[in-house]
C-alpha cells in the first residue's frame, strides 16, 4: 500500500513537472511589425539565449493588435507586445492591459521610456514616400519634394496609403498632416488617393510592384523594395512624420517570466543589433541605417487624441 501510494505520488509529481516545464517553455507575443524576416531573426537570436522557450507570434496591424489585447483583458493570451506604436501603447496602458516592466541591461536612453515605466521604445519609424521611378517617368510626373505638392491635381489617382482607422502608419501620417496643415489639406489630398489600405507596408509593396506611382508608407517598407532590386526610391518630404515603436508586458500574462525575458532581449544591445538592419532608427545608440540628424522630424504642435481623430476621419472619408 505504501509503495503504491509512493509511486502514485511520484507519478503525479512527474506529471506536474512536465506540465510546468511545458508552460515554462512557451511565449506568445503580439506585434504589428509585419516583416517576416525580422521575426525569424529575432526568434532565432532569442532562442540562442533561451533554447527552452518556444516563441509564437501573432502579427496584425496596430489597430487589430490593440483591440485584441484589450478584448482579452479578462483572459490574457499574449505574454508581451512589441513593434506597436506610441498611440497604441498609451491606449493599452490606459485600458489597464499592460503592466510596468523595466528591461534589464538596456542601453536605451530614458527619453525613450514611458515615464511611468509601462513600456520601452525600441526604434523610431519614419514616414516616407515610396516612388516608383519608372511609373513617374512614364507619366511624366516630377518626383514630389513636399507634402503640399502631393495635394496637387497633377498626382490625382497616383497615391496609396493606409487608412488611419486600420493602421498605425495611417494614424501617424494623417495626424501629422492635420497638425501641420489642417483638414483642408487632407481634403485636397483625399482627392488624389487611388486606394486606402489596411496595412502600413502595403503602399510600399504596391510601389515596388508598379501598382501605384507613390506609396505613402514607412522607411523599412521602402528599404525592402529597394533591397529587392525594384525601381523604387525612398523620398523624405520637407518634414517627416514619425512614431516610436516599442513593447510592453501584458498584465496577467500566462507566461510572464518569459515575457520579461523577451523584453530584456528586445531592450538589450544584443537584441537591438538583430533588429537594427530591419528598422531605420533604433533607440539604442550607435545603430541604424538612417541619419535622423539630416531629417526634419515633425513634433506635434497640439496633443493628439488618436481615437477621436480616427472617428472624425472615418466620418469624412469612409463610405
CA angle 216, 217, 221 (to 5 degrees): 135
**Confidence at residue 87, expressed as pLDDT on a 0 to 100 scale:** 86
Band of pLDDT at residue 250, cut at 50, 70 and 90: very high
With pLDDT > 90 as the criterion, what percentage of the chain qualifies?
A: 77
28-124+243-291 CATH fold: D-Maltodextrin-Binding Protein; domain 2 (3.40.190)
For residue 206, pLDDT over 80 is answered with yes
**For 125-241+295-317, which CATH class?**
alpha beta
For residue 134, pLDDT over 90 is answered with yes
Band of pLDDT at residue 135, cut at 50, 70 and 90: very high
**Confidence at residue 24, expressed as pLDDT on a 0 to 100 scale:** 57
Q: Taking the model in full, what pTM does it have?
A: 0.72
For residue 179, pLDDT over 90 is answered with yes
For residue 27, pLDDT over 70 is answered with yes
**Phi and psi dihedrals of 216, rounded to 5?**
-90, 115
Q: For residues 77-91, give the mean pLDDT.
A: 94
Cβ atoms of 235 and 129 within 8 Å: the answer is yes
Could you give the CA distance from residue 9 to residue 301 in angstroms, rounded to a whole number? Answer: 66
Alpha-carbon torsion angle 245, 232, 160, 293, nearest 10: 40
Averaged pLDDT of the chain: 90
DSSP state string for 151-212: TSGGGTT-EEEE-TTT-HHHHHHHHHHHHHH-HHHHHHHHTTEEEEESSTTHHHHHHHHTS-
Band of pLDDT at residue 9, cut at 50, 70 and 90: very low
Name the DSSP class of 239. Answer: S
**Confidence at residue 63, expressed as pLDDT on a 0 to 100 scale:** 85
Identical topology for domains 28-124+243-291 and 125-241+295-317: yes
Q: Structural domain boundaries of the chain?
A: 28-124+243-291, 125-241+295-317
For residue 2, pLDDT over 60 is answered with no
Q: Which residue has the higher pLDDT, 39 or 162?
A: 162
For the chain, list the strands marked E by DSSP. Answer: 26-31, 54-59, 80-85, 98-99, 120-132, 159-162, 193-197, 214-218, 232-235, 242-250, 281-282
Cβ atoms of 250 and 79 within 8 Å: the answer is yes
pLDDT tens per residue across span 159-172: 999 999 998 899 99
Amino acid at each position: 500500500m505504501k509503495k503504491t501510494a509512493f509511486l502514485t505520488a511520484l507519478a503525479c509529481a512527474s506529471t506536474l513537472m512536465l506540465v510546468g516545464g511545458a508552460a515554462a517553455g512557451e511565449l506568445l507575443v503580439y506585434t504589428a511589425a509585419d516583416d517576416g524576416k525580422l521575426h525569424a531573426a529575432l526568434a532565432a537570436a532569442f532562442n540562442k539565449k533561451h533554447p527552452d522557450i518556444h516563441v509564437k507570434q501573432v502579427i496584425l496591424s496596430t489597430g487589430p493588435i490593440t483591440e485584441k489585447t484589450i478584448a482579452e483583458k479578462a483572459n490574457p493570451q499574449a505574454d508581451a507586445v512589441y513593434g506597436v506604436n506610441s498611440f497604441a501603447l498609451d491606449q493599452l496602458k490606459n485600458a489597464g492591459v499592460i503592466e510596468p516592466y523595466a528591461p534589464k541591461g538596456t542601453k536605451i536612453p530614458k527619453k525613450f521610456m514611458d515615464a511611468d515605466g509601462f513600456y520601452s521604445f525600441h526604434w523610431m519609424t519614419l514616414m516616407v514616400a515610396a516612388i516608383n521611378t519608372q511609373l513617374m517617368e512614364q507619366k511624366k510626373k516630377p518626383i514630389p519634394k513636399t507634402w503640399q505638392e502631393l495635394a496637387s491635381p497633377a498626382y490625382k489617382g497616383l497615391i496609396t496609403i493606409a487608412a488611419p482607422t486600420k493602421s498605425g502608419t495611417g494614424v501617424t501620417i494623417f495626424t501629422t498632416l492635420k497638425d501641420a496643415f489642417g483638414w483642408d489639406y487632407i481634403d485636397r489630398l483625399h482627392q488624389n488617393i487611388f486606394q486606402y489600405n489596411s496595412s502600413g507596408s502595403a503602399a510600399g509593396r504596391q510601389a515596388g510592384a508598379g501598382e501605384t506611382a507613390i506609396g505613402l508608407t514607412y522607411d523599412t517598407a521602402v528599404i525592402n523594395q529597394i533591397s529587392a532590386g525594384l525601381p523604387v526610391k525612398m523620398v523624405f518630404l520637407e518634414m517627416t512624420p514619425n512614431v516610436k515603436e516599442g513593447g510592453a508586458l501584458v498584465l496577467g500574462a500566462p507566461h510572464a517570466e518569459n515575457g520579461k525575458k523577451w523584453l530584456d532581449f528586445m531592450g538589450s544591445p544584443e537584441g537591438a543589433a538583430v533588429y537594427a538592419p530591419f528598422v531605420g532608427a533604433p533607440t539604442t545608440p550607435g545603430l541604424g541605417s538612417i541619419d535622423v540628424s539630416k531629417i526634419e522630424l515633425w513634433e506635434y504642435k497640439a496633443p493628439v487624441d488618436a481615437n477621436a481623430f480616427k472617428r472624425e476621419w472615418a466620418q469624412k472619408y469612409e463610405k
